[in-house]
Amino acid sequence: MLLKRIYDETLAQASYLIGCEKTGSAIVVDPNRDIGQYLAAARHEHLRIEHVTETHIHADFASGARELAKRAGAALHLSAEGGGDWLYRFASADDARLLRDGDVIEVGNVKLEVRHTPGHKPEHIAFVVTDRATSDSPVGMLSGDFIFVGDVGRPDLLERAANMHGTMEELAKDLFRSIAATSELPDHLQIWPGHGAGSACGKALGALPSTTLGYERIANWAFAIHDEARFVREVLAGQPEAPKYFAMMKAINRDGVPPAPTHPLAPFDLSLLRKAMGAGGVVIDVRSTADFAAGHIPGTLNLPTGTSFTTWAGSLLPYDRDIVILADDPPRIEGARRLMMLIGLDRAVGYAGADVRAAWAREFGPLERVKQISVQELVRSAERQILDVRNQREWDAGHLPNASHRYLGDLVERTKDLPRDTPLALHCQGGTRSAIAASLMQARGFTNVANVSGGYRAWQDAGLPIERGAGGQASADEEHRAGDALTPTPE
């Protein structure tokens, strides 16, 4: 048996290529929309992709299972468990095989046995893998969003992201029972999860690529709780805010993801850019926050490419309007387009660079800037309203005494009451999210916006007073997921 993990750092998402080296047959589990990487991996290993499947209807990325199965001429296998509103609506049209608990997928000498593991989602399944060429005992489990390294899949997304009220407690109970049902499986079973650190599909995911069931039994908090009511309280407490686009992804993946766009982006000059903006198009500047702050075209939104790009692009960009990408180098433009494609933002129509910024400055005057202020200047600037754009847990762990909490994902709705000339100071933990927020506020017509350099961390380092809520200190993983550990593409 051959096992290849294919990991996307931006999505913190793992897909798996499993092949039988004797027969050359292979299966891909949980592919994202960048299907070329799976076809290339199979060719490299001299394998044929004959099966494609996934563990559940994903919320954090657009599935590539449907398109990959068609491109490879492979059989598509989809969960038939869970019932209700979250059954695959395209399964019949695509002649997909519907899987139930106990079913088996044969991949040469490799056997994948289906286990219904509801909790994260009602339809969730996992695959227990046996390499029959070496043993009749299972070697591992493709656990999807059921068991992670150090954590389990959150059961609240249907309620908090898809507005299916009254589901999260029942799903938490299902998750408790799914965990208990693993007691029949051996300690040596390897766990190959669908996500790593940085994913919003759990609250404390570890960074290791895999684990064992035996290790999780002694190290994973969820396996240490044997009282259902307590487990429900614990698993629902402290979950991060669900990115806004998760509800859209659930619907797209349920109904059938269309083929990814392949047309080249059109080069835009100043005239085309202004025409697009006038027609309601969105212009995103994907340069670094420092470069954007130093000079940008008014009305543009700064979304620097990096590990949190999909979170904020999916939360702040509309799915029903054209998008133009601004950057100074082709790799950054193509990178941004690929990342948008991964979450179904398919309406990128063009790109522009430094020449268009220069043309704007010649015709309309100096480019817009984002004012940067230090925490010391903030203390002396009593007239500025302070907006903290971090998440709820970070806010509870400690915040500036005079700040107002306006989470970045909710910023558009939460600032409708503010006059456009309000002097604003925006901050987050380290400066990235507040830079995005500052660009958003400027694009929406706010005329006196400043970004606090170094954010809350700089405030703490200066020994300035803070207030605390009910929460504890935010974890490093939470800061990574939120965006202040953003890893930009090389300058």
Residue 330 sits in a domain of what CATH number? 3.40.250.10
CB-based contacts of 342, cutoff 8 Å, min separation 6: 8, 10, 11, 32, 33, 34, 61, 62, 310
The reported pLDDT for the residue numbered 480 is 45
CA dist 79 to 83, 88, 112, 427, Å? 10, 8, 14, 43
Check whether residue 36 and residue 136 sit in a common domain: yes
> What confidence score (pLDDT) does residue 84 get?
77
- What confidence score (pLDDT) does residue 470 get? 55
Domain boundary among 364, 384, 417: 364
Q: Give the number of domains in the chain.
A: 3
Q: With respect to residue 238, please indicate whether it lies within any of the assigned structural domains.
A: yes
Asked whether residue 405 falls in the same domain as residue 349, the answer is no
pLDDT at 164: 83
Same domain, 375 and 465: yes
Domain residues for the domain of 451 are 371-482
Same domain for 383 and 359, yes or no, is no
pLDDT in tens, 203-240: 889 999 999 999 999 999 999 999 999 999 999 999 98
* Inter-residue contact 295 to 368 (CB < 8 Å): yes
Residue 261 counted as domain residue: no
Query: Is 87 a member of any domain?
Result: yes
* Residue 52 confidence (pLDDT): 98
Q: Let me know if residue 487 belongs to a domain.
A: no
Pairing verdict, β 323-326 and 385-388: unpaired
Q: Are residues 225 and 336 in the same domain?
A: no
What token pair was written down for 322? 């054209």
Q: Is 339 exposed, middle or buried (0-12, 13-18, 19+ CB in 10 A)?
A: buried
Same domain, 274 and 242: no
Domain boundary among 346, 364, 382: 364
| 337 lies in the same domain as 458 | no
Task: Based on the fold, state whether residues 68 and 40 are members of the same structural domain.
Answer: yes
Whether 82 is covered by a domain: the verdict is yes
Contact status, residue 57 vs residue 30, Cβ threshold 8 Å: no
Angle, nearest 10°, between helix axes 168-180 and 228-236? 120
pLDDT in tens, 438-464: 999 999 999 999 999 999 999 999 999
Question: Do 83 and 160 share a domain, yes or no?
Answer: yes
Spatial distance between the Cα atoms of 482 and 434, rounded to a whole number of angstroms: 11
Does residue 490 lie within any of the structural domains?
no
**Which stretches of the chain score pLDDT less than 50?**
471-491
Between vectors from CA 297 to CA 295 and to CA 300, what angle results, nearest 5°? Answer: 110
Out of 194, 223, 255, a domain closes at: 255
Q: Please state whether the predicted TM-score (pTM) of the whole model is above 0.85.
A: yes
**Within-domain flag for 342:** yes
201 & 284 share domain: no
- Assess whether 50 and 181 both reside in one domain: yes
Reduce the secondary structure of the chain to three states and give it as a string. Answer: CEEEEEEECCCCEEEEEEECCCCCEEEEECCECCCHHHHHHHHHCCCEEEEEECCCCCCCCCECHHHHHHHHCCEEEEECCCCHHHCCCCCCCCCCEEECCCCEEEECCEEEEEEECCCCCCCCEEEEEEECCCCCCCCEEEEECCEECCEECCCCHHHHCCCCCCCHHHHHHHHHHHHHHHHHCCCCCEEEECECCCCCCCCCCCCCCCEEHHHHHHHCHHHHCCCHHHHHHHHHCCCCCCCCCHHHHHHHHHHCCCCCCCCCCEECCHHHHHHHHHCCCEEEECCCHHHHHHCECCCCEECCCCCCHHHHHHHHCCCCCCEEEECCCHHHHHHHHHHHHHCCCCCEEEEECHHHHHHHHHHHCCCECCEEECHHHHHHCCCCEEEECCCHHHHHHCECCCEEECCHHHHHHHCCCCCCCCCEEEECCCCHHHHHHHHHHHHCCCCCEEEECCHHHHHHHCCCCCECCCCCCCCHHHHHHHCCCCCCCCC
Query: Hey, which residues does 351 pair with through a beta bridge?
Result: 267, 325
The enclosing domain of 227 has a CATH number of: 3.60.15.10
Q: Are residues 423 and 288 in the same domain?
A: no
Strands 190-193, 140-144: pairing is parallel
